[in-house]
Structure 1
């Protein structure tokens, strides 16, 4: 999830664990704990594009990290914060780290919660930024912040924030189940034979959902809004995996393919190859739109394969928001 959401969750968890004893310091250190795992983004900048992607939401989002660094940071905090013991600070940090990782499990990218095992958990039921999850949570946290330490109202507001946000998360799982049924029913009614299907919410909401559908030679992408009145339409994107040619056995390219979980297409422009990661959709929900949210250029420089992410711009984001708002209202 985004940084603000993780800060809010970390602060609320810190308050739940140690707020009664140390007051606002519990929220402060909880917020810090909610931020630390995402520092892997800055570590990734020291490496090439593919390695950075492999590092993101890896070790720092694992149960092992929560246990090990929960104790390390808890002990360090106890050296100058005497209001609680090292064990109590360690408990706060552990839950701050772990809940951060657990929240990210529900997104499309997911986390390697059981690192070093190479399994990335991704439930794909909430977008990385969702105002309906974050804003009510933030309001209850702020209400708790201005209540006296240990007061019943403080605990009540904090607990309400955790309950409301968790309830919304459950609703997104229910929504995913409903939309999955709608997509598979549409495929059956339209006589479309497929190998695999993945569903996820579109950016910033859980009203409009998308599906990636794998067929023999192409991927289909379809959209379903809870306000739809017409049948779901699916748009085809040819795999073109054969275009990789000499890169088919390239180690770096295959590492990138592994990251995509096999959900990718290849396009060719101006004698350059591009690998498009389908998991994060397109930069518009307009029919047959061609620009993917995550696309990587594959080149050979000085005898080495070089992979770079295609940059996005603000115009893409503006257009996406317009298209989303229109499509959310139904087809």
Structure 2
């Protein structure tokens, strides 16, 4: 999730756990710090744009490593504020803050390697967009109420209510995603399309309109399919659009290390194409929409794929028109 959301979540969790045992401002501040720490891995440059992507949310988001970090951070806080009697409580608070960061990240589609060093599997539920005001606002309101209220007043209850509401929203997102997936699979079956890997993820800033991507299991099938489904559509049929996925290129270059690396990280939701200057381009189909995607990587010429560091080419849609289109689709299926 975005940095503001992680700061709000970290502060809310720390305030809820510490309660009246220490200053609300102190617990909120350290919650914000601990809630930000895992994302400092973005400062590491691996010398290759594709590696920077697949190695983000890795060791710094590991539940195991963060568990080891929690008592060290708690010891630092207790030493700085002379609260050694509260060590166990600070340990619990900061451990929960550190762990809720990657667990929330895993609710997005990006891919979070929660179980390092035991496996590099990138977990991604994909039921919430990376920025979602409906999740973040209850947390912000609760934390602000706790900070501005008098110590030990109703602000702590507001903070807890914010946590409950935001968590309930995550539950709703999973239910909405399951509904859309069911609708999409029924539509594919009704249209006689073979069983396919399905990606269901919300369009930006909400959980009512969803983008569905179907990738065939057959490597020779030249197309992936894309559709947009709203939970408000009712019985409206799903309108699938077929797009080229570079199947022949995948057969030829699928075993090249950068191609295999991104294909594994994205669970196979990739396409390949050749650029105007003869380079092989791989695209992560999970983030964006056809033909505009956040993560495109040029991998070098076809005869030497991976011989040079991958370079990222983003094709982000213009935000204003994209939001207006989203609003129109929500209002009128």
Output the TM-score relative to the length of structure 2: 0.90
Does 1:164 pair with 2:170?
Answer: no
1:273 paired residue number: 280
Root-mean-square deviation over aligned CA pairs: 2.1
Does 1:127 pair with 2:129?
Answer: yes
Unaligned runs of 5+ in 1: 283-288
Does 1:219 pair with 2:224?
Answer: yes
Q: How has the CA–CA distance of structure 1 residues 149 and 66 changed in structure 2, closer, same or farther, with 3 Å as cutoff?
A: farther
1:306 aligns with one of 309, 313, 333: 309
1:136 paired residue number: 138
Unaligned runs of 5+ in 2: none
CA deviation map 1:116-162 (0-9, x unaligned)? 112222111111100111112211221121122233x1221111011
Mapped partners of 1:205, 1:303: distance in 2: 37
- Contact residue 66 and residue 95 of structure 1 kept, 8 A: no
Does 1:77 pair with 2:77?
Answer: yes
Does 1:322 pair with 2:324?
Answer: yes
Mapped partners of 1:164, 1:246: distance in 2: 49
CA deviation map 1:169-219 (0-9, x unaligned)? 111111111111111122122222232212111111101011111223121
CA deviation map 1:4-26 (0-9, x unaligned)? 11111100001011131112101
Q: How has the CA–CA distance of structure 1 residues 32 and 174 changed in structure 2, closer, same or farther, with 3 Å as cutoff?
A: same
SS at structure 1 position matched to 2:129: coil
Output the TM-score relative to the length of structure 1: 0.90
Q: How has the CA–CA distance of structure 1 residues 227 and 27 changed in structure 2, closer, same or farther, with 3 Å as cutoff?
A: same
Query: Following TM superposition, by how much is the alpha carbon of 1:302 offset from its aligned partner in structure 2, in angstroms?
Result: 12
2:247 paired residue number: 241
- Contact residue 194 and residue 214 of structure 1 kept, 8 A: no
Mapped partners of 1:158, 1:246: distance in 2: 55
CA deviation map 1:252-286 (0-9, x unaligned)? 3322222222111112221222111111231xxxx
- Contact residue 14 and residue 96 of structure 1 kept, 8 A: yes
SS at structure 2 position matched to 1:306: coil
Bigger Cα displacement from structure 2, 162-171 vs 219-228: 219-228
Task: State the aligned residue count.
Answer: 322
CA deviation map 1:14-69 (0-9, x unaligned)? 101113111210111001111111111112x3432122122211111111122111
SS at structure 1 position matched to 2:123: coil
Bigger Cα displacement from structure 2, 103-112 vs 45-54: 45-54
Mapped partners of 2:194, 2:72: distance in 1: 53
**1:144-183 correspondence to structure 2 within 5 Å:** 144-151=146-153, 153-183=154-184
Bigger Cα displacement from structure 2, 256-265 vs 92-101: 256-265
Query: Following TM superposition, by how much is the alpha carbon of 1:324 offset from its aligned partner in structure 2, in angstroms?
Result: 1.6
